[in-house]
A and B are shown apart, each in its own frame.
Chain A
Amino acid sequence: MSKGWQLTLILCLLGLFALFYQGLWGDPRHIPTVLIETDAPNFEGPDVETGQTISLEQFKGKVVLLNFWASWCYECKVEHESILQLHQLFKDNPEFVMLGVNYQDELPDAQKYLKEYGSTFSHVRDLKGQLAIDYGVYGVPETFVIDQQGKIRHKWVGPITGEVYTNITQKVIAPLLKAQPTTTTTS
């Protein structure tokens, strides 16, 4: 085989390797979302603690942070402290609402979890998994930020800690609350 052909073959193989690298060795948890800049699906469900009906519709015109969690999820426990801290940071802003979505869980377990780890905002139960599927959720924790126009502006798969916390508070939520256009980002 001539050197020219050998070089072509090596280049072809390298090209294919580069092409499939992401698929083979990329993090399978990070499935690209198609929901950014689309209308946030409306939902309705009972509050984990009070049983009262909560719907997204009632928070129309506000910036909503939606955090999917479950009592059996280890990473949810990891991020819980940061989640409470995030709520503490923005809770006095009337334009901001934070909602937890309890995903694939038993009610007593969810209530026990909130009692044990603390809760300062409302949590809606996803009874049949419809809410999670509407939001393209495939694991917990997953967090969405919805803007005042009801569009999904940000999605993060995994715990909101460290740099992720800084990014979501300073680069996503704060600019939205100031009604400044922000760049849409996704995990």
Chain B
Amino acid sequence: MPIRLTWCLVALLTIPLPLFAAVQDETDVDIQVREIAKTLRCTVCQTENIWESGAPLAQQMRGVIRDRIALGHSTEEIRAYFLSRYGDYILMEPPKHGVNWLIWVAPFLLLLVGGFFLYKEVTHWVRDTPTPPSQPEPPLDDQARKRIERELES
């Protein structure tokens, strides 16, 4: 019993308590900020969203999101605000309208076209490859026959 108790205490002490605190301290506003920030592109880093980016502009944008949530703006209103300032470019996911559809459809289209050409090419190879004429097996000579018999006996 005392050993078990000691192990329990050791386990409790080794658990990273700040991690627990961080999870517990995350408010609904924090969650909403994170969810919105993840959908917006950092215009400085360009490949990161403003939640993950460490750029000062991304940090300020997160501040703006927080301020607007505090003012009672909805997620869509906040996204629309950033869209009105920076255009479609600010969105991590291109909106599905106009020429943007090409971005969504092109990979599948390429796959389809590529698959079609591959199919055509493979069938072409199969059709044009000459099959070797079937030949009778060569007769077994005496030396080979004796070697096989010897190996079977041993």
Rounded to whole Å, the gap between the CB of B78 and the closest CB of chain A is 12
Answer whether A33 and B102 are a contact pair too, CB < 8 Å, given A129-B56, A129-B60, A132-B57.
no
Asked whether any CB of chain B lies closer than 8 Å to the CB of A135, the reply is: yes
Rounded to whole Å, the gap between the CB of B67 and the closest CB of chain A is 8
A133 touches B117 (CB 8 A): no
Q: Could you say which of A1, A104, A132 contacts B120, with CB atoms under 8 Å apart?
A: A1
Which chain A residues in 1-36 approach chain B with CB under 8 Å? 1, 5, 9, 12, 16, 19, 28, 31-35
Q: Could you say which of B43, B57, B87, B117 contacts A9, with CB atoms under 8 Å apart?
A: B117
Q: Which residues of B contact A28 (CB under 8 A)?
A: 46
Contact pattern, B 12-50, Cβ under 8 Å of A = 1, otherwise 0: 000000000000000000000000000000011010000
B56 touches A104 (CB 8 A): yes
Most buried by A among B44, B60, B63: B60
Which chain A residues in 109-158 approach chain B with CB under 8 Å? 128-130, 132-136, 138-139
Q: Could you say which of B63, B85, B106, B117 contacts A35, with CB atoms under 8 Å apart?
A: B85
Which chain A residues in 133-185 approach chain B with CB under 8 Å? 133-136, 138-139
Total number of residue pairs linking A and B with CB closer than 8 Å: 60
Answer whether A5 and B117 are a contact pair too, CB < 8 Å, given A128-B63, A129-B63, A132-B60.
yes
Asked whether any CB of chain A lies closer than 8 Å to the CB of B121, the reply is: yes
Residue of A nearest to B106 (CB): A16
Which chain B residues in 100-154 approach chain A with CB under 8 Å? 102, 106, 110, 113, 117, 120-121, 124
Answer whether A134 and B57 are a contact pair too, CB < 8 Å, given A31-B43, A139-B44.
no
Distance A28 CA – B44 CA, assembled complex (angstroms):
10
B87 touches A32 (CB 8 A): yes
Answer whether A33 and B87 are a contact pair too, CB < 8 Å, given A1-B124, A129-B64, A130-B64.
yes
Known: A104-B56, A129-B60. 6 other contacts (CB 8 A): A32-B89, A33-B87, A128-B64, A129-B64, A132-B57, A139-B44
9 A-B residue pairs with Cβ-Cβ distance under 8 Å, sorted by A, are A31-B87, A33-B87, A34-B87, A128-B60, A129-B57, A133-B64, A133-B82, A133-B85, A139-B43
Those 6 A-B pairs whose CB atoms lie nearest each other, nearest first: A129-B60, A138-B43, A34-B87, A136-B85, A136-B86, A31-B89
